[in-house]
Structure 1
Amino acid sequence: MLTFEEKLAIIESFPELQRNDVSLGRVNFHFEESVLDKKIVVYRLHPNGNGFVYAELINDDYSVDSKGMVNIRDFSEMELLKVIKQSIESLSESEPFEESWVNADSQNLLLVEEYGTWNIYAGEMLDGSYATYNGAVDYLHQEGFRRLQDEDLKK
């Protein structure tokens, strides 16, 4: 496990992040150029090595909490660099966020972020609307859908 100082050095290597010291020796890092209301990339990095990175919009299988954060306590240097870079990129996208989902019957749904709401479309018809990405994804998983990956689109 990386130490607090090692994680801090890695995070501070991203010039686009702004450090904000918070209580109990913890540190947050903000991305002020975020195109979304969300600006915190690194949340509550603690001297014991625990901390979180915003990963809700990343197309990897990070286990995120209800705030869209992934725990980085046991991340390696490469994993930490990757998730921070992905987090910054996800907050930099100016085009609307869209994901395609498919079930075993080859039915397709589209997950779209619109005005802070996560909408699921079946063609042009609205199938559902959720306050969070995780809420929409939970629904899709419960209904037997899986996210289409780039390699699926090439088939």
Structure 2
Amino acid sequence: MLSFEQKISILEGFTELTRKDVSLGRVNFHFYGSVFDKTIVAYHIHPNGNGFVYTGDMEGFASNQKGLVNVRDYDETELRNIVKASIANLSSDAEISHQQVWKGPENESLLLVQEDYFWNIYTNDMLEESFETYNEAEAYLKEEGFIRQ
């Protein structure tokens, strides 16, 4: 487990993040280049070693209901990787990387796109459905017989 000082040093190495000291000795790091209202990347990094990184609904991370992953036991590589993923998720590049094509049983195509805090399904330029989470959108598409390409 990294010490508080090591975690802070790693997070301060991300020049796109801004440090903000909060109560009880905890520290948050904001990404003000976010294309979303959400700007916190690292939340409540605490001197006792606890802390969280925001991943939202990104696949591959075991986030809680608020989209946060506890990084208490992360090593340096794991912490750097999750912070990079969080910044990419909140940046303008995230809109491009969060698009998926799904093929239907009759070879029709739908586009699943993350926009702001929603997962929207489009047929051409027409909005078909909108969901609050990726899992809801994925379940709907699978129920309708679509397969991710």
Band the TM-score falls in, shorter-chain normalisation: 0.7 to 0.9
Cα 1:86–1:147 shift into 2, 3 Å: farther
What RMSD over aligned residues (CA atoms) do the two structures have, in Å? 3.1
When structure 1 is superposed on structure 2, of 81-90 and 92-101 the one drifting more is 92-101
What's 2:121 paired with? 120
Alignment of structure 1 residues 40-119 onto 2, 5 Å:
40-56=40-56, 58=58, 60-94=59-93, 95-96=95-96, 97-100=98-101, 110-119=111-120
1:10 equivalenced with 2:14 (yes/no):
no
When structure 1 is superposed on structure 2, of 136-145 and 6-15 the one drifting more is 136-145
What's 1:136 paired with? 134
Structure 2 stretches lacking a partner, 5+ long: none
Structure 1 stretches lacking a partner, 5+ long: none
Counterpart residue type for residue 47 of structure 2: P
**Partner Cα separation in structure 2 for residue 52 and residue 11 of structure 1:** 12
| Partner-residue secondary structure (3-state), 2:60 | coil
**Partner Cα separation in structure 2 for residue 147 and residue 10 of structure 1:** 39
1:36 equivalenced with 2:36 (yes/no):
yes
Quick check: 1:57–1:87 contact (8 Å CA) kept in 2? Answer: no
Shift of 1:125: 6.4
**Partner Cα separation in structure 1 for residue 20 and residue 44 of structure 2:** 10
| Partner-residue secondary structure (3-state), 1:7 | helix
| Partner-residue secondary structure (3-state), 2:113 | strand
| Partner-residue secondary structure (3-state), 2:73 | coil
**Partner Cα separation in structure 2 for residue 3 and residue 42 of structure 1:** 15
